Amino acid sequence: MANMINNSGLTPLRAINGSPYNGQGNVYYIPSTDGSQYAIGDAVSTAAGGDATGIPQVAKASSASGTPLRGVVAGVFVVPPTGPTSAVGTTLPLEFISVPATKAKNYYVLIIDDPHVIFEIQDDGLNALTATSCNKNAYFTVANQTYPQQLSGTTLTTGTVATTNTFPLKIIGLVQRPNNNFGTSARWQVMINQHEFQGNTAGY
């Protein structure tokens, strides 16, 4: 049976010690001048600076840049988590869970920045990976979804699977699920191989 194509970027599964993902993350800032679209499941890196209260800034990650990753978007705040500004009488767009490329305001996002989280990601379907891909590394391909689909379109880049230690993702193995099999568009367990909170990394 063919694997179902349902890209959703990087989805947290569990911690490396086997405990379930607990839904935790940290708040980061995206300025209105940023020109990228963000969705839940997108990978991000830190950028220079932060907001007026000292919340650090992030930028959408490009796997080809070689820049270590800070984490993965897990949520978008409807109202800024800074300051006592009241939202009473304000219509809140709860149906939107992504950040547009063209921004009229600053945004705040919840980032899974724990380097020990295992994520699930679907591959790009361009090559049929086998068991030999387990324990190797790979790039990811960044893609934006179109409304009404608001989750990330990022996929594992099948053509890059190798032992190279600088690649951003480490493949743990196939997601163990009855409807997931070796072949095109399989779903894989991965960890961030080049993480800003592991080892010595440059500041921004």
Please state whether the predicted TM-score (pTM) of the whole model is above 0.95.
Answer: no
Q: Give the chain's radius of gyration (CA, Å).
A: 17
Does position 173 have pLDDT exceeding 70, yes or no?
yes
198, 71 Cβ separation under 8 angstroms: no
pLDDT at residue 200 in the model: 66
pLDDT at residue 113 in the model: 97
Reported in sequence order, the residue ranges of 7-114 that DSSP labels E, i.e. its strands, are: 11-15, 26-30, 43-50, 56-60, 71-76, 107-112
Nearest CA among 184, 188, 185 for reference residue 176: 188
DSSP 8-state symbol, 2? P
Does position 92 have pLDDT exceeding 90, yes or no?
no
Domain parsing of the chain, residue ranges: 11-16+115-192, 26-80+95-112
Residues 47-55: what's their mean pLDDT?
94
Torsions phi, psi of 195, nearest 5? -110, 140
pLDDT at residue 158 in the model: 97
Q: What pairs with residue 188 in β-bridges? A: 121, 174
β-bridge pairing 107-112 and 140-141: unpaired
pLDDT at residue 136 in the model: 97
Residues 95-120: what's their mean pLDDT?
93
pLDDT at residue 204 in the model: 62
pLDDT at residue 150 in the model: 85
Does position 133 have pLDDT exceeding 90, yes or no?
yes
User: What's the rounded Cα separation, in Å, for the pair 64 and 192?
Assistant: 14
Q: Considering the chain, what is the average pLDDT of its residues?
A: 91
Residue 65, judged by CB atoms within 10 A of its CB (0-12, 13-18, 19+), counts as: exposed
What single letter denotes the amino acid at residue 65? S
- Give the model confidence (pLDDT) of 135-163 as tens digits: 999 999 999 887 777 899 999 999 999 99
pLDDT at residue 38 in the model: 96
61, 86, 165 from 58: Cα distances, Å: 9, 25, 24
Residue count of the chain: 204
pLDDT bin (cut points 50, 70, 90) of residue 84 is low
